[in-house]
Amino acid sequence: MATLTYRDALNQALREEMSRDDRVFLMGEEVAEYDGAYKVSRGLLKEFGPKRVVDTPIAELGFAGIGVGAAMVGLRPVIEMMTWNFALLAIDQIVNSAAKMRYMSGGQIGVPIVFRGPGGAALQLGAQHSQAFESYYAHIPGLKVIAPATPADAKGLLKAAIRDDDPVVFIEGEMLYNQKGDVPEGEHLVPIGRADVKRAGRDVTIISHSKTVGPALKAAESLAAEGIDAEVIDLRTIRPLDTEAILGSVGKTNRCVVAEEGWAFAGVGAQVVDVIQRDAFDALDAPILRVTGADVPMPYNKHLERAAKVDAGKIHEAAKKVLYR
């Protein structure tokens, strides 16, 4: 095992896949000369050259469309969004072209493309640059949506996404890039659509993904100090959703808390709750509780921003409520 940052794990995945398959290329703002806004593409221009690591103007709709067209004729583009907030400008290409082309062509034209970049809130970037968009894209048939929480999962899932024959929305946690973790050496693939048990437990299930996995694990530690054994599930993939893992855990613990960075209304957690109430209602010993971001545009003030975000304390309290403690 090598210890890598989340950023370097992504870089390793890109380098390995570009070496393995000359159809893979990277395109986006500042990915080449600047080594990426978050240094995920560091060194790739020098290694692969300007035809495979391509800087673009500030024109998300344009370069997303170039990527879709390239995928339609057999290449495997990786399109970096400097942030998923900026991808709103490219949503027509992602939703109306990439997601629908295979269906509308009767299966004749595939779009093997990855749209990737950081999502969610960082620190004091304001309301327009602090949004978690997983549920937006998960709503769309034809898109796969991935949101890894650890360096190992970031590498393994990005490699799997690049090899996938369908369009993938790959949302990286903006505050996770410096997080370190063990990453398997050599060929490391994580299957798309399979959740992971980050901590086994018997009393309550905490379902999380991306940046809420860390707070969920911290909450599990503080709950353990009170004699509560929490199981932490990392969804890893939002669509397709691993319903088997969700139902298996809730069937064991009989109680559930769902934590996500995004807003509550029509969020990822709402879909998770629907799965549980429909297929595991009789297993529940308490109503499911959701812990989400506050239902407001993200404040700039650091104290209000902190109050609006999900943290370990909020997850801890929700877990105690479903246990009637």
Dump pLDDT digits (tens) for 95-148. 999 999 999 999 999 999 999 999 999 999 999 999 999 999 999 999 999 999
Neighbours of 257 (CB within 10 A): 29
- Supply the DSSP string of 85-102, one letter for each residue: TGGGGGHHIIIIIITTHH
The CATH number of domain 2-183, selected from 3.40.430.10, 3.40.50.300, 3.40.50.720, 3.40.50.970:
3.40.50.970
Three-state SS sequence of 188-215: CCCCCCCCEEEECCCCEEEEECHHHHHH
Based on C-alpha coordinates, what's the Rg of the chain? 19
User: What pLDDT, on a 0 to 100 scale, did the predictor assign at position 186?
Assistant: 81
The answer to whether the beta carbons of residues 284 and 256 sit under 8 Å apart is yes
Neighbours of 23 (CB within 10 A): 16
Segments of the chain assigned to CATH 3.40.50.920? 196-322
The owner of tokens 């960075």 is 261
* Sites in the chain below the pLDDT cut of 50: none
| Number of alpha carbons in the 13 Å side-chain half-sphere of residue 196 | 20
The owner of tokens 């304001």 is 126
User: What pLDDT, on a 0 to 100 scale, did the predictor assign at position 1?
Assistant: 86
Neighbours of 34 (CB within 10 A): 13
The owner of tokens 């093997």 is 112
Residue type present at position 280: A
- Residue count of the chain: 325
Question: Which pair of tokens denotes residue 292?
Answer: 């989400």
C-alpha 148/C-alpha 166 separation (Å) is: 18
Strand residue runs (E) in the chain:
2-5, 24-28, 53-55, 76-80, 114-119, 144-146, 168-173, 180-183, 196-199, 204-208, 230-234, 237-239, 256-259, 289-291
Instruction: Give residue 218's Cα distance to chain centre.
Output: 20
Residue type present at position 247: L
Instruction: Give the closest residue to 196 by CA, choosing from 141, 145, 157.
Output: 157
Question: Which pair of tokens denotes residue 36?
Answer: 């990426």
Segments of the chain assigned to CATH 3.40.50.970? 2-183
The answer to whether the beta carbons of residues 17 and 168 sit under 8 Å apart is no
Q: Catalytic amino acids?
A: 60, 129
Q: By three-state DSSP, how is residue 216 classified?
A: helix
Q: 17: part of which helix (H) or strand (E)?
A: helix 6-20
User: What pLDDT, on a 0 to 100 scale, did the predictor assign at position 291?
Assistant: 98
Which of the 8 DSSP states describes residue 181? E
**Which CATH architecture is the domain 196-322 placed in?**
3-Layer(aba) Sandwich (3.40)
The answer to whether the beta carbons of residues 89 and 58 sit under 8 Å apart is no
Instruction: Give the closest residue to 308 by CA, choosing from 299, 317, 320, 319.
Output: 299
Neighbours of 226 (CB within 10 A): 11
